[in-house]
Amino acid sequence: MINFSSRAQGSKRSLDVGDKLPAFSLKDQDGNTFNSADHIGKSMMVIYFYPKDESMVCTKEACAFRDDFDDFTEAGAKVIGINGGTVASHKAFEQHYKLPFTLLSDPGDKVYKLFGVKGSLFFTGRKTFVIDLQGKIVYTHDGLLEGRAHADESLKYITATHK
């Protein structure tokens, strides 16, 4: 179930700082349903959209989030990766690189579109959103070829503003 009640509905605009996290439900790498609304107020969320499991830049990005996972957790943030890959593809990617965080399968890129994440050429986009405890977007990082920077810059923002 996807809730299209956000301001991004029907528009091509990307969600930005100050916007509310849209409600969505997707399957994780274990086949469990992840409901975004269930996590508001429990922890900050770092939601990163990436084009493809096992591709070079996406692997660097995932491994950066993995390597900094303890720092994100200590800062009170839950890391969530999203792309259009299958649950099985995400499970294999998680196991291959020992990823300790949630990977969500977004068939048809419905949540990508809900967030307004822009693609480039033949790829879906790469964008990271930091969501605060009230469910508001407080930081974004955009950069298709900047895998490592998504983790680094999000962590810098979180540690600088949420001590």
DSSP letter for each residue of the chain: -B---STTTT--PPP-TTPBPPPBEEEETTS-EEEGGGGTTTSEEEEEE-S-TT-HHHHHHHHHHHHTHHHHHHTTEEEEEEES--HHHHHHHHHHHT--SEEEE-GGGHHHHHHT---BTTB---EEEEE-TTSBEEEEEE-TT-HHHHHHHHHHHHHHH--
63 is catalytic: no
Check 58, 79, 103, 151 and give the catalytic one. Answer: 58
In the block, residue with structure tokens 């999203």:
82
Antiparallel, parallel or unpaired: β 25-28 and 44-49? unpaired
Instruction: Give catalytic residues, as residue numbers.
Output: 58
